Amino acid sequence: MADGDAPVTMSDVARLAGVSTATVSRVVNGRYGVSASTIAQVRSAIERLGYESSLVATSLRRSRTNVLGLVTHSFQSYTAEVLKGVMDALSQSGFDLIIYANSDLYGKYSEGWEQRHLTRLSGTLTDGCIVVTPWGEVRSSTPVVVIDPVRDSTVPSVTADNLAGATQVVEYLLGLGHRRIGFIAGRSSLAAAWSREEGYRRALAEAGVPADPTLVGRGDFNPESAIPLARALLERPDRPTAIFAASDGMALKVLEVAKELGLDVPGDLSVVGFDNIPESALAEPALTTVDQSMYQLGYEAAHMLKSLVTGEWEGPSRITLPTRLVVRGSTAPPKITESPETTAEA
Amino acid sequence: MADGDAPVTMSDVARLAGVSTATVSRVVNGRYGVSASTIAQVRSAIERLGYESSLVATSLRRSRTNVLGLVTHSFQSYTAEVLKGVMDALSQSGFDLIIYANSDLYGKYSEGWEQRHLTRLSGTLTDGCIVVTPWGEVRSSTPVVVIDPVRDSTVPSVTADNLAGATQVVEYLLGLGHRRIGFIAGRSSLAAAWSREEGYRRALAEAGVPADPTLVGRGDFNPESAIPLARALLERPDRPTAIFAASDGMALKVLEVAKELGLDVPGDLSVVGFDNIPESALAEPALTTVDQSMYQLGYEAAHMLKSLVTGEWEGPSRITLPTRLVVRGSTAPPKITESPETTAEA
DNA sequence: GTTGGAAACGTAACCGATAACGATTGCAAT
DNA sequence: ATTGCAATCGTTATCGGTTACGTTTCCAAC
**Long-range contact set of residues A257-265: C-beta below 8 Å, sequence gap at least 24:** A257/A226, A257/A227, A257/A230, A257/A231, A258/A230, A258/A234, A261/A231, A261/A234, A261/A235, A261/A346, A262/A346, A263/A234, A265/A330
Task: Please answer whether residues A245 and A196 qualify as being in contact, where contact means their C-beta atoms are separated by less than 8 angstroms.
Answer: no
CB contacts of B104 in chain A (<8 Å) are 91-92
Could you give the angle at which helices A10-17 and A36-49 cross, rounded to 10 degrees? Answer: 120
Other C-beta atoms lying within 10 Å of the C-beta of residue B329: 14
CATH fold for the domain made of A67-160+295-321: Rossmann fold (3.40.50)
| Residue (of B119, B183, B204, B241) closest to A6 by Cα position | B119
What pLDDT, on a 0 to 100 scale, did the predictor assign at position A110? 56
Task: Please answer whether residues B81 and B275 qualify as being in contact, where contact means their C-beta atoms are separated by less than 8 angstroms.
Answer: no
Torsions phi, psi for B121 (to 5 deg): -85, -45
Average pLDDT over residues B131-145: 88
User: Residue A342: pLDDT band by 50, 70, 90 thresholds?
Assistant: very low
Type of residue numbered A260: E
Interval B39-88: pLDDT, tens = 998 999 988 888 888 888 888 888 778 889 998 877 777 888 898 899 88
Burial class of residue A154 (count of CB atoms within 10 Å of its CB; 0-12, 13-18, 19+): exposed
Percent of chain A with pLDDT over 70: 92
Confirm or reject CATH 3.30.43.10 for domain B162-292, answering yes or no.
no
What is the residue-averaged pLDDT of chain A?
Answer: 88
Distance CA B199, CA B170 (A): 8
What pLDDT, on a 0 to 100 scale, did the predictor assign at position A198? 96
Q: HSE-up of B321 (CA within 13 Å, CB side)?
A: 20
With CB atoms and an 8 Å threshold, state whether A98 touches B103.
no
Q: HSE-up of B198 (CA within 13 Å, CB side)?
A: 12
Interval A270-326: pLDDT, tens = 999 999 988 898 888 999 999 999 999 999 999 999 999 988 888 888 999 999 999
How many residues are present in chain A? 346
What pLDDT, on a 0 to 100 scale, did the predictor assign at position A5? 62
User: Residue B114: pLDDT band by 50, 70, 90 thresholds?
Assistant: confident
Using the Cα atoms of residue A265, residue A331, residue A196 and residue A147 in order, give the sign of their dihedral: positive
A102 in contact with chain B, both atoms CB, cutoff 8 A: yes
B121 in contact with chain A, both atoms CB, cutoff 8 A: yes
Q: How far is B81 from chain A (nearest CA, A)?
A: 9
Q: HSE-up of B180 (CA within 13 Å, CB side)?
A: 21
Interval A220-230: pLDDT, tens = 988 999 999 99
Distance CA A225, CA A185 (A): 10
Confirm or reject CATH 1.10.260.40 for domain B10-53, answering yes or no.
yes
The answer to whether the beta carbon of residue B7 comes closer than 7 angstroms to any atom of strand D is yes
The answer to whether the beta carbon of residue A141 comes closer than 7 angstroms to any atom of strand D is no
Percent of chain B with pLDDT over 70: 92
- Range in A103-112, A144-153, B98-107, B154-163 with the lowest mean pLDDT: A103-112
Nearest-by-Cβ selection for A141 from B1, B125, B141? B1
Torsions phi, psi for B307 (to 5 deg): -70, -35
Average pLDDT over residues B22-51: 88
Could you tell me which residues come within 8 angstroms of residue A152 by beta carbon, excluding any fewer than 6 positions away?
A191
SS3 B138: coil
Q: Is the predicted pLDDT of residue B6 greater than 80, yes or no? A: no
Distance CA B340, CA B176 (A): 12
Give domain A162-291's CATH number out of 3.40.50.2300, 3.30.420.40, 3.40.1390.10, 3.40.630.30. 3.40.50.2300
Average pLDDT over residues A67-76: 84
The architecture that CATH gives domain B67-160+295-320 is 3-Layer(aba) Sandwich (3.40)
A7 in contact with chain B, both atoms CB, cutoff 8 A: yes
B67-160+295-320 shares its CATH topology with B162-292 = yes
What pLDDT, on a 0 to 100 scale, did the predictor assign at position B5? 63
Interval B199-232: pLDDT, tens = 999 999 999 999 899 999 999 988 999 999 999 9
What is the residue-averaged pLDDT of chain B?
Answer: 87
CB contacts of B83 in chain A (<8 Å) are 75, 80
Q: Residues of A numbered 278-297 whose beta carbons fall under 8 angstroms of chain B's beta carbons: which are they?
A: 278, 281-282
What's the DSSP call for residue B215?
Answer: G
Largest CA distance in chain A: 93
Q: Which of residues 117-136 of A touch strand D (CB under 7 A)?
A: 123-124
Could you tell me which residues come within 8 angstroms of residue A196 by beta carbon, excluding any fewer than 6 positions away?
A162, A163, A165, A166, A185, A186, A246, A274
Interval A191-204: pLDDT, tens = 999 999 999 999 99
Type of residue numbered A345: E
| Residue (of B92, B103, B193) closest to B150 by Cα position | B193
What pLDDT, on a 0 to 100 scale, did the predictor assign at position B89? 92
What pLDDT, on a 0 to 100 scale, did the predictor assign at position B246? 96
Q: What's chain A's Rg over C-alpha atoms?
A: 26
What pLDDT, on a 0 to 100 scale, did the predictor assign at position A278? 83
Using the Cα atoms of residue A244, residue A248, residue A249 and residue A251 in order, give the sign of their dihedral: positive
SS3 B305: helix
What pLDDT, on a 0 to 100 scale, did the predictor assign at position B31? 84
Question: pTM here?
Answer: 0.84
Q: Where are the domains of chain B?
A: 10-53, 67-160+295-320, 162-292
What pLDDT, on a 0 to 100 scale, did the predictor assign at position B160? 96
| Residue (of A115, A158, A168, A118) closest to A137 by Cα position | A115
What pLDDT, on a 0 to 100 scale, did the predictor assign at position B105? 46
Type of residue numbered B164: A
Among protein residues, the one whose C-alpha sits closest to the C1' atom of D20 is: B22
- Range in A109-113, A174-178, A330-334 with the lowest mean pLDDT: A109-113
Q: How far is B241 from chain A (nearest CA, A)?
A: 30
With CB atoms and an 8 Å threshold, state whether B104 touches A84.
no
Percent of chain B with pLDDT over 90: 52
- Range in A109-118, A204-213, A238-247 with the lowest mean pLDDT: A109-118
